[in-house]
């Protein structure tokens, strides 16, 4: 393994001013919390495994809410817990990119 984590996942949780489109207006923080909890429940969290982080603006809010998974650099959009479950189950557990959610 070349990094500290097998997967490092960043959720844009940016809140823009003035009514501009942003990921946080679309439930990003709550869904990041859900993902973090699910990863812990599955025993995937920790060094050598998966780290879920919130980030500031990733500059793709119009396409979002967005999340990016490293080291692969795969960008996803998601809408709800089902989408998060699919990203966790298919990408983080099985190493398969979820093409239907890919940006």
Going across the sheet that includes 50-55, the strands are: 50-55, 7-12, 66-70, 74-77
Q: Residue 1's pLDDT is what?
A: 46
**Tell me, which fold does domain 7-101 have in CATH?**
Glutaredoxin (3.40.30)
Q: Are 91 and 98 in contact (CB under 8 A)?
A: yes
Q: Are 38 and 84 in contact (CB under 8 A)?
A: yes
Q: Are 39 and 82 in contact (CB under 8 A)?
A: no
Ordered by start, the domain boundaries in the chain are: 7-101
pTM: 0.92
Per-residue pLDDT tens over the stretch 62-94: 888 999 999 999 999 999 999 999 999 999 999
Per-residue pLDDT tens over the stretch 16-31: 888 788 888 888 999 9
Task: Identify the H or E element spanning 86.
Answer: helix 81-86
pLDDT for residue 51 is more than 70: yes
Q: Residue 102's pLDDT is what?
A: 98
Task: Identify the H or E element spanning 73.
Answer: none
User: Per-residue pLDDT averaged across 43-70, rounded?
Assistant: 92
């Amino acid at each position: 393994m070349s990094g500290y984590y097998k997967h490092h996942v960043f959720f844009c949780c940016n809140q823009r001013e003035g009514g501009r489109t942003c990921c946080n207006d679309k439930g990003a923080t709550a869904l990041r919390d859900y993902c973090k909890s699910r990863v812990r429940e599955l025993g995937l969290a920790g060094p050598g495994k998966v780290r879920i982080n919130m980030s500031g603006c990733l500059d793709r809010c119009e396409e979002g809410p967005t999340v990016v998974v490293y080291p692969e650099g795969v960008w996803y959009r998601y809408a709800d817990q089902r989408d998060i479950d699919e990203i966790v189950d298919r990408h983080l557990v099985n190493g398969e990119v979820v093409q239907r959610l890919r940006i």
